């Protein structure tokens, strides 16, 4: 049943990417309130540390920390995972939340188109590098959970395998939608692989709805004006947007449930294309090649 009072999560550990603001911040705050040790993984240290202080003050939980993660750099992702593993913590919840939207055409450090590189490939690599810890942390009655944020935009997304990096034709809307579709395909394929090997880890996707955050900072001035005038009517607050993410991360309703798309706290059908298993596998194989890891990374890849 959603929304619901969620059980305490003492001694559990979560990583929230992009957790310094917006939906990620509200997610990190709520998980802290439930007693979790929360790591805010972000690319702006000052902002991250400020968010940590606010959460500690508001929740009284001092097990909240910031760790630097630049998803536009494969090196930074590997460094983040190395630093995290050096802490010898378990990992019960990974929230793949960070994203950019409608940015002008530009590349990540590794030469990937920014939406595809940050939103999708960055989280693809991060998840793979943390899988061994997630598998080690999940148990039969308390599966570890991977919660990946997509968007309703994925319904209009297309995957252009001849030009995944949008070199020939760049549309900011198309590139964002492609990255969000890729995340859904990835989550489903990941769940199939986890199920096949009997891991106690689940992978689900969340659409938070239309939420009033900084994600819209690259939209036109006209859109910004309309948003400013009507946000109270049409936009959720960041806390409301985070509610389905938190539900996916800790609700007992979803214990052992994986491979689903959640919107407004409900299992919802995603785009027809996202259920195409050949497409899921093709994208997986291609993504492994792009980030330089083996097809099924068991540990330390
Ligand atoms: N807002 C909506 O209406 C809406 C709708 C559907 C889906 N979503 C999804 O919800 C998620 C959260 O978005 P939001 O609305 O909360 O947006 P937001 O307030 O802009 O938060 C996005 C977070 O991602 C971080 N980020 C961006 N690039 C990064 C990078 N290269 N490395 C590390 N972190 C990076 C941002 O940090 P900096 O900005 O400080 O770099 C920020 O903390 C996203 O996946 C988004 O696609 C949002």
DSSP letters for 94-126: EEE-----SPPS-B-TTS-BHIIIIIIIIHHHH
Residue ID of nearest Cα to ligand 1 atom 47: 99
pTM of the model: 0.96
For residue 263, pLDDT over 90 is answered with yes
Atom in ligand 1 nearest the alpha carbon of residue 176? 47
Helix (H) or strand (E) holding 207: strand 201-207
CA–centroid distance, 281 to ligand 1, in Å, is 27
- Residue 233's pLDDT is 80
For residues 185 and 283, the answer to whether their CB atoms sit within 8 Å is yes
- Residue 224's pLDDT is 86
**Ligand 1 in reach of 99 Cβ (< 6 A):** yes
Q: What is the mean pLDDT of residues 164-176?
A: 96
Q: Of 206, 207, 87, nearest to 145 (Cα)? A: 206
**CA diameter of the chain:** 51
For residues 92 and 86, the answer to whether their CB atoms sit within 8 Å is no
Residues 6+ apart with CB under 8 A from 292: 74
For residue 297, pLDDT over 80 is answered with no
pLDDT-based confidence at residue 255 (cuts at 50, 70, 90): very high
- Residue 300's pLDDT is 61
**Ligand 1 in reach of 70 Cβ (< 6 A):** yes
pLDDT-based confidence at residue 295 (cuts at 50, 70, 90): confident
Mutate to test the pocket of ligand 1, among 81, 215, 243, 270 (most ligand atoms within 8 A of CB): 215
**Ligand 1 in reach of 22 Cβ (< 6 A):** yes
228 phi-psi bin (left φ>0, alpha ψ -120 to 50, beta other): alpha
Q: Could you give the CA distance from residue 124 to residue 230 in angstroms, rounded to a whole number?
A: 35
- Residue 104's pLDDT is 96
Q: Of 58, 290, 29, 61, nearest to 182 (Cα)? A: 290
CA–centroid distance, 18 to ligand 1, in Å, is 6
Residues 6+ apart with CB under 8 A from 281: 189
Query: pLDDT tens digit string along 198-221?
Result: 999 999 999 999 999 999 988 888
**Ligand 1 in reach of 271 Cβ (< 6 A):** no
Q: Could you give the CA distance from residue 97 to residue 78 in angstroms, rounded to a whole number?
A: 18
Atom in ligand 1 nearest the alpha carbon of residue 47? 40
Q: What is the mean pLDDT of residues 237-259?
A: 97
Angle formed at CA 291 by CA 286 and CA 292, multiple of 5 degrees: 95
pLDDT-based confidence at residue 162 (cuts at 50, 70, 90): very high
16 has which bridge partners? 40, 95
CA–centroid distance, 300 to ligand 1, in Å, is 28
Residue ID of nearest Cα to ligand 1 atom 43: 18
**Ligand 1 in reach of 212 Cβ (< 6 A):** no
**Ligand 1 in reach of 97 Cβ (< 6 A):** yes
Q: What is the mean pLDDT of residues 50-76?
A: 98
For residue 18, pLDDT over 90 is answered with yes
Q: Of 132, 79, 121, nearest to 96 (Cα)? A: 121
Q: Could you give the CA distance from residue 113 to residue 175 in angstroms, rounded to a whole number?
A: 8
For residue 61, pLDDT over 80 is answered with yes
**Ligand 1 in reach of 149 Cβ (< 6 A):** yes
- Residue 298's pLDDT is 60
Q: Who wins on pLDDT, 288 or 1?
A: 288
- Residue 1's pLDDT is 60
Q: What is the mean pLDDT of residues 70-87?
A: 98
Q: What is the mean pLDDT of residues 224-251?
A: 92
CA–centroid distance, 140 to ligand 1, in Å, is 32
- Residue 227's pLDDT is 83
- The rounded percent of the chain whose pLDDT value lies above 90 is 89
CATH for the 13-291 domain, from 3.30.450.40, 3.40.140.10, 3.40.50.10320, 3.40.50.720: 3.40.50.720
* Alpha helices (runs of H) in the chain, residue ranges in sequence order: 22-33, 45-59, 74-85, 114, 123-137, 172-196, 221-234, 238-250, 277-291
Q: Could you give the CA distance from residue 68 to residue 38 in angstroms, rounded to a whole number?
A: 14
Residues noted as catalytic: 176
**Ligand 1 in reach of 23 Cβ (< 6 A):** yes
pLDDT-based confidence at residue 179 (cuts at 50, 70, 90): very high
For residue 59, pLDDT over 70 is answered with yes
């Amino acid at each position: 049943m959603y929304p619901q009072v969620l059980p305490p999560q003492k001694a559990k550990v979560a990583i929230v990417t992009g957790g310094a603001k917006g939906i990620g911040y509200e997610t990190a705050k709520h998980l802290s309130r439930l007693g979790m040790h929360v790591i805010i993984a972000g690319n702006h240290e000052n902002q991250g540390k400020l968010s940590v202080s606010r959460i500690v003050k508001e929740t009284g939980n001092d097990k909240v920390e910031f760790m630097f993660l630049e998803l536009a750099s494969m090196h930074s992702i590997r460094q983040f995972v190395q630093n995290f593993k050096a802490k010898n913590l378990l990992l019960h919840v990974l929230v793949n939340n960070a994203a950019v939207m409608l940015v002008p055409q530009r590349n990540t450090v590794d030469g990937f188109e920014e939406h595809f590189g940050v939103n999708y490939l960055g989280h693809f690599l991060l998840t793979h590098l943390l899988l061994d810890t997630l598998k080690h942390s999940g148990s039969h009655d308390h599966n570890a959970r991977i919660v990946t944020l997509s968007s309703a935009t994925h319904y209009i997304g297309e995957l252009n395998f001849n030009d995944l990096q949008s070199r020939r034709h760049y549309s900011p809307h198309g590139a964002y939608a492609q990255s969000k579709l890729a995340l859904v395909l990835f989550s489903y394929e990941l769940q199939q692989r986890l199920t096949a090997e009997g891991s106690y880890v689940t992978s689900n996707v969340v659409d938070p709805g239309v939420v009033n955050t900084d994600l819209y900072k690259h939209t036109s001035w006209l859109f910004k004006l309309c948003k400013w005038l009507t946000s109270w009517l049409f936009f959720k607050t960041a806390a409301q947007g985070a509610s389905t993410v938190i539900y996916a991360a800790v609700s007992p309703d979803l214990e052992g449930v994986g491979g689903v798309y959640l919107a407004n706290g409900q299992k919802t059908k995603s785009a027809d294309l996202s259920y195409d298993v050949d497409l899921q596998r093709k994208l997986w194989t291609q993504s492994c090649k792009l980030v330089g890891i083996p097809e099924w990374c068991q540990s330390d890849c």
